[in-house]
Amino acid sequence: MRVEVQGTPLPVAICHLEAGESIKCEKGAMSWMSPNLEMKTEGGGIGKMFSKALQGESMFHNIYTAIGAPGMIAMGSSFPGDIMVMDVGDIPIIAQKKAFLASDTTVDMSIHFQKKMGAGFFGGEGFIMQKFTGRGKVLLEIDGCVMMYTLAPGESMLVDTGCLAVMDGTVSINVETVKGLGNKLLGGEGFFNTRVTGPGRVWLQSMPSSKLFESVNLVAH
């Protein structure tokens, strides 16, 4: 599968499939496609469907297959930001809930639970994230623009809650309290920050949807 991501601030991912090749998509993701693509809707069993619901995804997904010749399918972003095309391999990819847009059928999506209670409650990403394993490409929706950092073993970075979008499965998450009562109450950064610790890569998003909605509400009032 060859993927092109075009346009801002609501990008579209254009995926080119070889004859017989398939792509797995979030329900309702398709914007346009060539007429030789055949669609099949699947749920994957009760356990899989329940897992998807916990991750904020639809319990069903669509599989599109190019029949008889190469084909094309385009999927638009549902939120201003970016669409990341990532290669899944030996190291699992961990992403925020609702990030999944599409993938090769050889990529498996499952639940990733935050092991540390503090990170789950206060880290901004919640207890449940998405875990991608197998081999192939996965397309993820990111809020705002995205920056990637590579952390060495033991190297850490403090991240505002909600700004962590994607990370390698080797990266760990914890939370830290903002120091000083005045800073907590008047600094506008909340009470907690997320600490990510290497080794591994992290992808940070500039405008989490929760922050955008807060800003819109403030302007509206």
The angle at the Cα of 148, spanning 93 to 154, to the nearest 5 degrees, equals 75
3-class DSSP assignment, residue 18: coil
The residue behind tokens 């669509």 is 62
Predicted pLDDT of residue 141: 95
Q: Would the pLDDT of 124 be above 50?
A: no
- Rounded to the nearest angstrom, the gap between the alpha carbon of residue 52 and the centroid of all alpha carbons in its chain is 13
Average pLDDT over residues 83-92: 96
3-class DSSP assignment, residue 221: coil
Contact criterion met (CB below 8 Å) for 188 and 161: no
Query: Which architecture characterizes domain 2-220 according to CATH?
Result: 4-Layer Sandwich (3.60)
Predicted pLDDT of residue 43: 74
Q: Which two tokens stand for residue 81?
A: 């930001």
**Of the candidate ranges 52-56, 64-68, 159-163, 165-169, the one whose mean pLDDT is the lowest:** 52-56
User: Which pLDDT tens digit goes with each residue over 1-17?
Assistant: 999 999 988 999 999 99
Q: How many whole angstroms separate alpha carbon 37 and alpha carbon 201?
A: 35
pLDDT band at 181 (very low <50, low <70, confident <90, very high): very low
Predicted pLDDT of residue 54: 54
User: Which pLDDT tens digit goes with each residue over 190-213?
Assistant: 567 889 999 999 999 998 765 554
The domain spans of the chain are 2-220
Predicted pLDDT of residue 213: 45
Contact criterion met (CB below 8 Å) for 109 and 180: no
As a three-state string, the secondary structure of 47-85 is: HHHHHHHHCCCCCCEEEEEECCCCEEEEEECCCCEEEEE
Q: Would the pLDDT of 52 be above 70?
A: no
User: Which pLDDT tens digit goes with each residue over 101-116?
Assistant: 999 999 999 987 765 5
User: Which pLDDT tens digit goes with each residue over 14-49?
Assistant: 999 999 999 999 989 999 999 999 999 987 655 555
For residue 174, which phi and psi values (nearest 5 degrees)?
A: -145, 175
Predicted pLDDT of residue 49: 52
The pLDDT mean for the chain works out to 83
